Amino acid sequence: MLETKPTLFIFPFFVGGVAGFLIGNMKDKLLKLNADLELLVKQRTAELQQVHVELKKLRGLLPLCSYCKTTRDDTRFWEQADVTLSICPDCMKEHYPEEYEAMQFKQVGVNGVI
């Protein structure tokens, strides 16, 4: 017959205490990892939102060859297009003031009507 040692009665309490300590320690680590992941998700979401805004801007641009004036579509196919380039009055006035004044003079005409 085997004798039962008193430590057998203490053993479950000891293991429970260690297990409780380990579980508490793991819980703290998991909470920290979760907080770190949430921060990373927020940062990545902000980055993706910024990229989305920039992509929307780029979609509004028209790729145009500066030599033959063909345009490129979304399938990267170049096709001939009737494109005219112009300059707005504000830029004309700033960069070409003499031509701007001459153009204004011609538009006013003799009767002062444009």
- Residues with Cβ < 8 Å from 83, sequence gap 6 or more? 64, 69, 71
- Residues with Cβ < 8 Å from 69, sequence gap 6 or more? 80, 81, 83
Q: What is the pLDDT of residue 48?
A: 95
pLDDT band of residue 89 (cuts 50, 70, 90) is confident
pLDDT band of residue 41 (cuts 50, 70, 90) is very high
Q: Is 50 exposed, middle or buried (0-12, 13-18, 19+ CB in 10 A)?
A: exposed
Q: Which residues pair with 78 in a beta bridge?
A: 72
Query: Is residue 90 pLDDT above 80, yes or no?
Result: yes
Domain range summary for the chain, segments of one domain joined by +: 7-61
